[in-house]
């Protein structure tokens, strides 16, 4: 009895070793970067975590196909390294000693990637299934690009400024023309005296404080010292 | 009643206008490159010598001419000698070429500014490819910032011949840029005078903010130490001195007629000598200040890239040899590499082509200038800072202020002669003249928004102004010193300012500056002749980098036309005046 038990156990172990080894058919390599993702809160990878992993893969297989009856014992892990990386393979419970095709496993994992990631507090980058590419989420695109909105605002401001300045200029010119005709009329009547210097009215000249002309500044040197 | 010439409200507006014009993009994107290439801190020696030998004297000359003659460039040179009207026309033509292509830079700055209001910044990540399994191929080969510049901003074609279509986004930004310029020059000195308060001072505020931010960035000191350590052996390289002279010359914006235009709106008694010294010193100091900021940004970027490179190598080794996380660090990397090479020679040999040798020196050595520095390198550094949107907005607003400030000077150079000429000014108000000039420039500028537009931009940037300006300023200096006469000029200055220029100015005007310009001119000509065919850098999308190509025939023809259009005006102007005088003399009968 004991011998039969030992024999079946060894057969199963050898079969498992046959099924799960690096680069085996339908086997996938997984790589975790726990310290990179969690820093000081990183947990250690031990047998319990491996159990959780097997459970998640079984869960993914069951969710993917309702017919599936994958058990935790169907998921085999091997070659666990310090990195933390390992190979896993899913055996078929109905047929003995065969593995579930890789495409099914891939599809199942792809579908449930989010759930698997969150179970380990990791992300697509830190929990890598080396042969399974993840679908990258596209960036959020608003309906009108943001830059057009800002462009529109600035454009409206500038055009408003231009229109304002042009209209103000036209009004100023009209006022000036009216003033000059009025002044001409008054000048003909001789009523307005406009102080004029060399044909230029004093208002147009610059009436700021006088500038010191350096040639005349050195006044005290003109007189010979006693 | 004579209509008086519009004036600046106060001398400060004039100084700000000159500073706003002279301090432009060249201070930010050309000077740091030259500093890096030609000896770091040692480059300041030829730079200051050239400032004293040609920068200050030529600036004072142009300001004095403008202030004395109180006319734009065409009128001013006509007064100096009727045979020199061609010089003024040449200045206007060069300014016209410059304003055609320079505003495109403002359009690009607007584009980046509008795109800074997003999280994350659009040049921080690559877009996804069509089946969403990875990133766009072109973006993978090059960096995200280069991809954003070459593909999403310019949508550049692989060569000059493949013109492509006008990019409507860039065309919109260009139109906006021209509307902004129109708004600023609409009322002449009235509006320009107020705008230059902002365009002159805002860049300094942003530079100070960036200086503080830049110096506190991780790795900034690496950049500063590397760049500013003087490599005095470069002083024996003639190219160092030529680059210093060229940089001073073009940085001050001499020869375009803008300085003459600005000075013509001065009061006749304005002390332009003091202002010339102030403006040239501020211009040079700003260059140095901007290069401190740029070098700290370089240092940050280089350190960041170096550390990413090291992390990538560590990750690669960890994954290949299934080592525990944290066992490989930057410090023990070289020892671990030797250990792995010894223990697993075959696998290591397989891996070695992918293991790049990360070197901080190599990262710091990448010297970039021009639009590459302003739009690619800076945006790369900004995306790695905290609150990148804020720094991005500040930076591109600063670029806009610098660009618009220079555009104000350029358009003033074109408009002042037009508004001075009684033929045009009598019929149309200045708003209409400014509007027409802006409109024509905008329409021609649409060429630079096509897919091959950046190649045409490079042609204009490299050839439209260089030789012509040297010739124009040479003729100007010789005209004032020898045709107008330096004694007459001295007397004019005495009337205006109150004292004669001292021997330093006279020596520089009469001998040093013309000699320097002649040697620069000879150097450029020989350089063009010796290089043979002219080449340009084209973007290759398949490789994700720039490749060198030869210019096609018609591009060379355009280059020749650009140079000829302005330089030929000088002799043509003299010839036309000569013929006109001959005809007048013959038609007027001699009075007995």
Q: Is residue B578 within 8 Å of residue B83, measured between CB atoms?
A: yes
Is B251 known as a binding-site position? yes
Nearest Cα of chain A lies from the Cα of B182 at a distance, in angstroms, of 8
> Across the interface, do A151 and B323 touch by the CB < 8 Å criterion?
no
Cis peptide preceding B120, ω within 30 of 0? yes
3-state secondary structure of B450: strand
Residues of A in contact with B135 (CB under 8 A): 136
- The pLDDT score that the predictor gives to residue A219 is 52
Predicted ipTM? 0.83
**How far is the C-alpha of B17 from the C-alpha of B272, rounded, in Å?**
13
Q: Is residue B210 within 8 Å of residue B385, measured between CB atoms?
A: no
Is B27 known as a binding-site position? yes
Is the pLDDT reported for residue A62 higher than 70?
yes
Q: Is residue B97 within 8 Å of residue B559, measured between CB atoms?
A: no
Q: Which two tokens stand for residue A115?
A: 């759930």
**How far is the C-alpha of B403 from the C-alpha of B175, rounded, in Å?**
15
Q: Is residue B395 within 8 Å of residue B118, measured between CB atoms?
A: no
- The pLDDT score that the predictor gives to residue B542 is 87
A-B C-beta contacts closer than 8 Å: 101
- Closest partner CB to B133 (pick from A35, A84, A133): A133
**Interface check B431 vs A, CB under 8 A:** yes
- Residues with Cβ within 8 Å of residue B212, at least 6 apart in sequence: none
Q: Which two tokens stand for residue A12?
A: 């199963």
Is B22 known as a binding-site position? yes
Nearest Cα of chain B lies from the Cα of A151 at a distance, in angstroms, of 7
The mean of the pLDDT values for chain A is 79
- Closest partner CB to B183 (pick from A139, A161, A213): A161
DSSP calls for B305-328: HHHHHHHHHHHHHHHHHTPPTTS-
Is the pLDDT reported for residue A204 higher than 60?
no
What ranges in B115-151 are assigned the alpha helix state H?
A: 137-141, 144-147
Is B23 known as a binding-site position? yes
Q: Is the dihedral of CA B447, B451, B454, B460 positive or negative?
A: negative
Q: What are the pLDDT tens digits along chain B (592 aa)?
A: 345 788 999 999 999 999 999 999 988 888 988 888 888 888 999 999 999 999 999 999 999 999 999 988 999 999 998 899 899 999 999 999 999 999 999 999 999 999 999 888 999 888 887 777 778 888 888 888 999 999 999 999 998 988 888 999 999 999 999 999 999 998 888 888 889 999 999 999 999 999 999 899 888 998 888 888 888 888 888 889 999 999 998 899 999 999 999 999 999 889 999 999 999 999 999 999 998 998 898 888 889 889 988 888 888 888 888 888 778 888 888 888 888 888 888 888 888 787 778 888 888 877 778 888 889 889 988 998 889 999 999 999 999 999 999 999 999 999 999 988 888 778 888 889 999 999 999 999 999 999 999 999 999 988 888 889 999 999 999 999 999 999 999 999 999 998 888 999 999 999 999 999 999 999 988 888 888 778 888 998 888 888 999 999 999 999 999 999 989 999 999 999 999 999 998 887 665 5
- Partners of B548 in the β-ladder: B537
Of chain A, the percentage scoring pLDDT greater than 90 comes to 10
Q: Crossing angle, helix B486-497 and helix B272-321, to 10 degrees? A: 90
Residues of B in contact with A81 (CB under 8 A): 322
- Residues with Cβ within 8 Å of residue A108, at least 6 apart in sequence: A57, A60, A61, A63, A64, A65
> Across the interface, do B2 and A173 touch by the CB < 8 Å criterion?
no
Q: Which of the residues A31, A80, A83 would you substitute to probe the B interface, choosing the one with the greatest number of B C-beta atoms within 10 Å? A: A83
pLDDT band for position A95 (cuts 50, 70, 90) = confident
Number of alpha helices (DSSP H) and beta strands (DSSP E) in chain B = 30, 2
- Closest partner CB to A215 (pick from B1, B325, B494): B494
**How far is the C-alpha of B301 from the C-alpha of B143, rounded, in Å?**
13
A196-197 vs A200-201, strand pairing mode: antiparallel
Is B470 known as a binding-site position? no
Residue in chain A nearest B267 by alpha carbon? A206
**Interface check B183 vs A, CB under 8 A:** yes
3-state secondary structure of A59: helix
**How far is the C-alpha of B358 from the C-alpha of A88, rounded, in Å?**
35
> Across the interface, do A146 and B115 touch by the CB < 8 Å criterion?
yes
Nearest Cα of chain A lies from the Cα of B176 at a distance, in angstroms, of 6
**Interface check B584 vs A, CB under 8 A:** no
**Comparing C-alpha atoms, which of A192, B321, B164, A200 is closest to residue B313?**
B321
> Across the interface, do A206 and B267 touch by the CB < 8 Å criterion?
yes
Residues of A in contact with B326 (CB under 8 A): 35
- Residues with Cβ within 8 Å of residue B20, at least 6 apart in sequence: B196, B199, B200, B405, B406, B408, B409
**How far is the C-alpha of B576 from the C-alpha of B63, rounded, in Å?**
27
- The pLDDT score that the predictor gives to residue B1 is 35
Quick one: A92 exposed, middle or buried, by C-beta within 10 A (0-12, 13-18, 19+)? middle
**Comparing C-alpha atoms, which of B455, B439, B450, B452 is closest to residue B175?**
B439
Q: pLDDT per residue over A105-157, tens digit each? A: 888 888 888 888 888 888 888 888 887 777 766 666 667 788 899 999 999 99
């Amino acid at each position: 009895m004991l011998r039969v038990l030992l024999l079946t156990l060894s057969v199963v172990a050898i079969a498992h070793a046959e099924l799960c080894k690096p680069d085996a058919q339908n086997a996938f390599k997984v790589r975790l970067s726990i310290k990179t993702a969690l820093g000081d809160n990183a947990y250690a990878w031990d047998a319990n975590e491996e159990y959780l992993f097997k459970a998640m893969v079984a869960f993914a297989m069951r969710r993917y196909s309702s017919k599936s009856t994958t058990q935790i014992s169907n998921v085999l892990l091997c070659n666990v390294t310090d990195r933390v990386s390992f190979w896993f393979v899913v055996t078929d419970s109905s047929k003995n000693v065969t593995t579930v095709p890789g495409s099914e496993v891939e599809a199942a994992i792809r579908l449930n990637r989010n759930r698997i990631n969150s179970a380990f507090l990791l992300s697509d980058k830190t929990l890598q299934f080396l042969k399974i590419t993840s679908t990258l989420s596209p960036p959020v695109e608003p309906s009108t690009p943001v830059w057009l909105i800002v462009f529109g605002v600035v454009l409206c401001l500038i055009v408003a400024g231009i229109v304002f300045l042009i209209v103000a200029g036209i009004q100023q010119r009209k006022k000036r023309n009216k003033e000059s005709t009025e002044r001409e009329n008054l000048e003909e009547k001789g009523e307005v005296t406009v102080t004029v210097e060399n044909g230029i009215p004093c208002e147009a000249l610059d009436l700021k404080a006088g500038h010191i002309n350096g040639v005349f500044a050195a006044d005290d040197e003109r007189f010979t010292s006693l | 009643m004579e209509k008086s010439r519009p004036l600046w409200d106060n001398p400060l507006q004039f100084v700000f206008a000159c500073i706003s014009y002279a301090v432009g993009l060249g201070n930010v994107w050309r000077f740091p490159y030259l500093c890096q290439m030609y000896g770091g801190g040692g480059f300041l020696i030829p730079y200051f010598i050239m400032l004293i030998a040609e920068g200050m004297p030529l600036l004072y000359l142009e300001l004095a001419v403008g202030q004395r003659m109180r006319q734009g460039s065409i009128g001013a040179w006509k007064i100096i000698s009727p045979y020199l009207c061609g010089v003024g026309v040449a200045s206007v033509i060069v300014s016209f070429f410059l304003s055609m292509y320079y505003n495109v830079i403002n359009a690009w700055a607007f584009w980046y500014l509008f795109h800074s209001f997003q999280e994350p910044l659009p040049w921080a990540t690559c877009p996804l490819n069509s089946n969403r399994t990875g990133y766009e191929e072109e973006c993978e080969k090059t960096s995200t910032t280069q991809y954003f510049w070459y593909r999403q901003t310019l949508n550049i074609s692989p060569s000059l011949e493949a013109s492509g279509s006008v990019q409507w986004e860039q065309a919109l930004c260009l139109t906006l840029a021209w509307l902004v310029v129109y708004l600023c020059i609409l009322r002449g000195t009235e509006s320009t005078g107020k705008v230059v308060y902002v365009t002159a001072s805002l860049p300094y505020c942003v530079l100070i903010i960036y200086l503080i931010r830049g110096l506190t960035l991780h790795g900034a000191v690496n950049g500063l130490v590397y760049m500013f350590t003087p490599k005095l052996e470069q002083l024996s390289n003639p190219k160092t001195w030529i680059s210093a002279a060229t940089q001073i010359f073009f940085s001050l914006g001499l020869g375009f007629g803008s300085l003459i235009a600005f000075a013509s709106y001065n009061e006749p008694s304005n002390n332009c000598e003091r202002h010339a010294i102030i403006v040239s010193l501020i211009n040079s100091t700003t260059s140095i200040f901007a290069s401190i900021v740029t070098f700290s940004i370089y240092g940050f970027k280089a350190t960041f890239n170096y550390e990413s490179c090291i992390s990538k190598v560590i990750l690669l080794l960890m994954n290949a040899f299934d080592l525990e996380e944290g066992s490989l660090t930057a410090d023990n990397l070289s020892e671990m590499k030797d250990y792995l090479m010894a223990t697993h020679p075959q696998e290591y040999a397989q891996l070695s082509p992918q293991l790049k040798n990360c070197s901080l020196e190599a990262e710091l050595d990448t010297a970039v200038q021009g639009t590459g520095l302003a739009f690619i390198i800076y945006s790369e550094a900004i995306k790695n800072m905290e609150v990148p949107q804020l720094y991005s907005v500040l930076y591109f607003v600063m670029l806009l202020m610098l660009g618009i400030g220079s555009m104000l000077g350029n358009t003033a150079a074109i408009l002042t002669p037009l508004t001075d000429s009684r033929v045009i000014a009598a019929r149309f108000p200045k708003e209409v003249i400014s509007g027409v000039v802006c409109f024509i420039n905008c329409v021609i500028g649409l060429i630079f928004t096509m897919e091959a537009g950046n190649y045409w931009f490079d042609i204009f940037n490299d050839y439209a102004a260089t030789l012509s300006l040297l010739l124009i300023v040479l003729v100007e200096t010789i005209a004032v010193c020898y045709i107008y006469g330096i004694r007459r000029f001295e007397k004019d200055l005495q009337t205006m300012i109150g004292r004669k220029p001292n021997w330093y100015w006279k020596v520089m005007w009469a001998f040093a500056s013309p000699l320097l310009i002649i040697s620069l001119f000879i150097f450029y000509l020989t350089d063009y002749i010796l290089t043979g065919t002219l080449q340009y850098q084209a973007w290759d999308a398949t490789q994700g980098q720039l490749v060198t190509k030869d210019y096609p025939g018609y591009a060379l023809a355009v280059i020749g036309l650009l140079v000829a259009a302005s330089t030929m005006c000088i002799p043509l102007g003299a010839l036309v005046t000569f013929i006109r005088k001959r005809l007048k003399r013959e038609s007027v009968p001699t009075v007995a």
